[in-house]
Structure 1
Amino acid sequence: MSSKSEPLFQPLARDALSQRIARMLTDAIVSGKLKPGERVAESVIAREFGVSRAPVREAARLLESAGLLVSHANRGFFVRTIDAEDLDSLYELRLCIEREAAGRVVREGKVEAIIDRLRDQIEDMVGMSEENQLILQIGVDLQFHRLIVESSGNKRFLAVFDKLAWEIQACTAMIETVFDEPGLVARNHYLIIDALLSGDEAEARAAMEYHIGVARETVVGRFRTLEAEEAQTGGPKA
């Protein structure tokens, strides 16, 4: 946990504690406040939240199931670390889901129902990129993709995507600069919109495959660079 003098969290009311604590811990991981490999001390969190350790432990178990925390016998919970190969596998699975989701949205005639929301999300991304709010931009980016997956009508796609999204967002949060031109990345989402509006399933799939492929190459490549630097210096770079 952080050694800062000010508490990381504020006390909570005693309703649905474990779920609320899990949500706040997730936000801390995704935003980079809790770093990969960092110990999540139940006693410290319980004190900052103003609760007993039991709901904190239950929340930690929920996040362990979600893949954000890992537990070690007699040591407690730690923020999960991930290597480049594992991250690459996440992107590969994400690609399979989103490529087919894009095709289903076109086939099921769902494009018009979501197109305005997709455009609004892109504009939000562009604005955040101009204000250098990387973490928030990543969050809206994933919301854009989630809307397409949700609109595909395949609930299994959505369930898997939600799990992947937290892991990908948590991983990219530890990289200060993922893309050289985040504004350009945001605007490139318009290529997906154009493909959806074409009414061609194959074109929609191809646009999504290209888009996620670029992200996969960039983010995983950055992780591989970090791993190489760590191997040379013997210490983490992020």
Structure 2
Amino acid sequence: MDAMSAGSRDSDTATGAVQTAIDAVYESIASGDLRPGQPIRQETLADQLGLSRQPIREALRMLASDGLLTYRRNVGFCARELSSAELDQAYRLRRLIENEILCGTTDIAPAALTRLRELNTAIADAAARHDLGAVRRLNAEFHFTLFAQSGLDLYVEELRRLWRLTNIYRAIYATDPNTISRIVAEHDAIITALESADLPRLIALHNQHREGTLDALTDRLGATETATATP
């Protein structure tokens, strides 16, 4: 093997190690294992993943540049905390982008409708098994399967960033069986609006779906902020 080939292989290995670390931290955020403001112990993460500290540091820097982590002096990298005002801003941006995307989804392919039904059934099944990780992943797949029908790839890419930013809070929210039942019922209504190509109703239902989550998150976050501020 020549030096160039060896260097390329080493680079690929390093890139793979960084991505492994990124995926692991992101999963901890999305699942709620890593709480808002919680520090990330680089040594512990390196041991868990069987990696050296260098790809861990690079992964944390990249996640911080994406807004998912913050760096605090004398503490290190921590899961980002959003204030209730910042959470509201993120959801306002989501509303703007998602509504634009939904305008391009009314001519949805039958296969995509079938897939949405399958995913919603799978969400209900996962909830019955108390598999909250599967509920979270399937819910995201449901929405991004719908969004992908618009063909607005740059919009969808930006939307993924906003979803990642707020995942740490949705993980706290989507643990109540009644909440998941409501999510499934609202998904069914969204599918019905898609089937009838009723764009105003589709947008109204999707806004209601999103804002129900925001209201619950804001209530919980506001209560936390009040408790923290109380001497």
TM-score, length-scaled by structure 1: 0.82
CA distance, structure 2, for counterparts of residue 176 and residue 146 of structure 1: 18
Shift of residue 209 of structure 1? 1.9
Q: AA paired with 1:157?
A: Y
Distance 1:188 1:62, change over 3 A: same
CA distance, structure 1, for counterparts of residue 229 and residue 74 of structure 2: 29
1:178-217 aligned within 5 A = 180-217=178-215
Shift of residue 191 of structure 1? 0.9
May I ask how many residue pairs the two structures share in their alignment?
219
CA contact (8 A) 1:105 1:111 kept: no
CA distance, structure 2, for counterparts of residue 190 and residue 176 of structure 1: 18
User: Is 2:59 the counterpart of 1:82?
Assistant: no
CA distance, structure 1, for counterparts of residue 105 and residue 31 of structure 2: 31
CA distance, structure 1, for counterparts of residue 168 and residue 176 of structure 2: 13
Task: Tell me how large the CA RMSD over aligned residues is.
Answer: 2.3
Aligned residue in 2 for 1:59: 59
Gaps of 5+ in 1: 1-12
Q: AA paired with 1:191?
A: A
Percentage of pairs with the same residue: 26
1:1-238 aligned within 5 A = 16-73=16-73, 75-106=75-106, 109-175=107-173, 177=175, 180-232=178-230
CA contact (8 A) 1:128 1:134 kept: yes
Of 161-170 and 180-189, deviating more is: 180-189
Of 221-230 and 28-37, deviating more is: 221-230
Aligned residue in 2 for 1:4: none
CA distance, structure 1, for counterparts of residue 226 and residue 178 of structure 2: 20
More helix by share: 2
CA distance, structure 2, for counterparts of residue 45 and residue 100 of structure 1: 39
CA contact (8 A) 2:127 2:177 kept: no
Residue 70 of structure 1 aligns to a residue whose secondary structure is: strand
Shift of residue 179 of structure 1? 7.0
Distance 1:222 1:75, change over 3 A: closer
Shift of residue 32 of structure 1? 2.0
CA contact (8 A) 1:37 1:81 kept: yes
CA contact (8 A) 1:125 1:186 kept: yes
Residue 104 of structure 1 aligns to a residue whose secondary structure is: coil
Deviation readout 1:53-86 (Å, 9 max, x if unpaired): 1101111012112221112345421111112221
CA distance, structure 1, for counterparts of residue 195 and residue 109 of structure 2: 7
Aligned residue in 2 for 1:9: none
Residue 205 of structure 2 aligns to a residue whose secondary structure is: helix
TM-score, length-scaled by structure 2: 0.84
Residue 105 of structure 2 aligns to a residue whose secondary structure is: helix
Residue 70 of structure 2 aligns to a residue whose secondary structure is: strand
CA distance, structure 2, for counterparts of residue 73 and residue 180 of structure 1: 41
CA contact (8 A) 2:174 2:180 kept: no
Shift of residue 153 of structure 1? 0.7
CA distance, structure 2, for counterparts of residue 56 and residue 133 of structure 1: 29
Shift of residue 120 of structure 1? 0.9
Aligned residue in 1 for 2:5: none
Shift of residue 47 of structure 1? 2.9
Q: AA paired with 1:146?
A: F
